[in-house]
Each structure stands twice: as C-alpha cells, then as structure tokens.
Amino acid sequence: MKKRRVRNAVPGGERIFQRIYTRLGCEGRPPHFVVEFHPYTDLTHTIRLREDTAYVRLSDALDDAPHPVVEATAAILLGRLYRREPPKELLQTYREFSYAGATRRRLLALRQRRARRVEHRPAGTHHDLDQLFERLNARYFAGELTKPRLGWSRRVWSSLLGCFDPALQQIVINRQLDREGVPEFVVAYVMYHEMLHVKHPMKFARCRRESHGAEFRREEKKFVDYQRAMRFLDRFPTR
C-alpha cells in the first residue's frame, strides 16, 4: 500500500497525537495519525477514524500556534473520539488561545477572505427584510444602525432562526420563516434580535464568549411583540 502524501502536514503532528493518545489513557494500539492543516473559515478541527488510520484536519489558524495549543487541540479531538476527559490545563490553554485578541483578529480576516457571502436579496415570497430593517432601525435604534447585507438562507436551517456575521457584515434569516403562516411580527423580532448583535458586538473576556449580555437581554425585551413572538416560536416546527 502506497503511503499517502500529506501536502499540508502539521509538523510533528503524528507524534503529538500519539503522545496525547497515551496521556488520555485510550485503550489499545494507537492508530496511524495523518495530521494536516486545512483552510477552514474558523477554528474548526475534525478527526475521522478509518480502519487503523485517523485523519485529522486542523484549522490553519493554528499554523503558527504554540506547541501546547496543538497538544490541547489533539486532546479535545481525541477526547471526543474516545470519550475521554481532556486535562483541565489543556482545555484552559485552548480557551486562552481561542479567545485571545490576536486569534480573534486572524479568524476575522480568514472569514472575510473565505466565507460565502449571501446574495443581497431581502425580498422574500411573503416578507421583505429590507422594509423590516428600516422600520426597526427607525423605531428602536434612532436610524443609526448601518444596514448590513440582508438575505434569506439558501436552505432551511434545522434550529437557527437568524445569524449576524460581523466578518461579512450580513444578516441572514432562516428561509423557513418566509411563509404565509408566519406573522410579520415574528420575522421582525428575529430581525430585531440580529440587529442587536450589530449594536452589541460579541465580547471575549476571561476565556469566555459573551454574545447575549445583560444589556442585550434588556433591550431585546423592549421589542413590542416580544412575548407574542416567543410564544409563536416556542411552537414553531423546525424542518
């Protein structure tokens, strides 16, 4: 069998994974590890076991990360695959790296280059996102929010209702909400929620990510139809 050539091999990746495999107390003979960097749009890492080979893809945002960060990533992936609890110090190392300002700036730049932008087509079959944004901006934000790109998701999302992507400056709403049976105040609430994310950017502090802080929650409840929207969405089927 011809050995596979790894074009974006992680230096010392196989040794790192073998060492962490032993440290986690995984049973049996360790697989052969093929570890490479992959151009993901964020800190995505994957591991797939096929017979006696484990294929590992690490986000290339780690290509100049300190050695302990790669070890921590290996512990997280192997812990997930073999149902082992990674050492707390390695989890802390990974959190500190992932929430560091330099890491967040690099991920933002990577996402701006690689992520897919939604087409600016706010007019759906039943609801117009552009009109909703303008009305909500005037009523709740004194018209001061800069309008991002607006659009409907290409596919129906299974759980997510909406998403604001700061790297791409776009708000995308689940196309499942563009139905005749979905009241406009429900779509307006989802849009309002994402507009609050524009106003209150995600914060990273003390190895924690905060996207729905106290001020965010207070403003969210100012939406005039907040309770009605919550009741509808609690019953809203996904898929």
Residues of the chain above pLDDT 90, percent: 72
User: Please, which residues have CB within 8 angstroms of residue 228's CB and are 6 or more apart in sequence?
Assistant: 185
Domain boundaries, the chain: 13-114, 129-235
Residue 1 reports pLDDT greater than 50: no
The answer, yes or no, to whether residue 209 has pLDDT greater than 70, is: no
**pLDDT tens profile 92-136:** 999 999 989 899 889 888 888 888 777 778 899 999 999 999 999
Tens digit of pLDDT for each residue in 18-58? 999 999 999 889 999 999 999 998 899 999 999 999 999 99
Position 157 scores a pLDDT of 86
CATH architecture for residues 13-114: 2-Layer Sandwich (3.30)
Please name the CATH architecture into which domain 129-235 falls: 2-Layer Sandwich (3.30)
What does the pLDDT read at residue 205?
47
Angle between helices 184-199 and 129-140 (to 10 degrees): 60
At residue 2, the pLDDT reads 42
pLDDT for 4 beyond 60 = no
169-181 per-position pLDDT tens digit = 899 999 999 999 9
Alpha-carbon distances, residue 69 vs 16, 157, 215 (angstroms)? 11, 32, 33
13-114 and 129-235 share one fold: yes
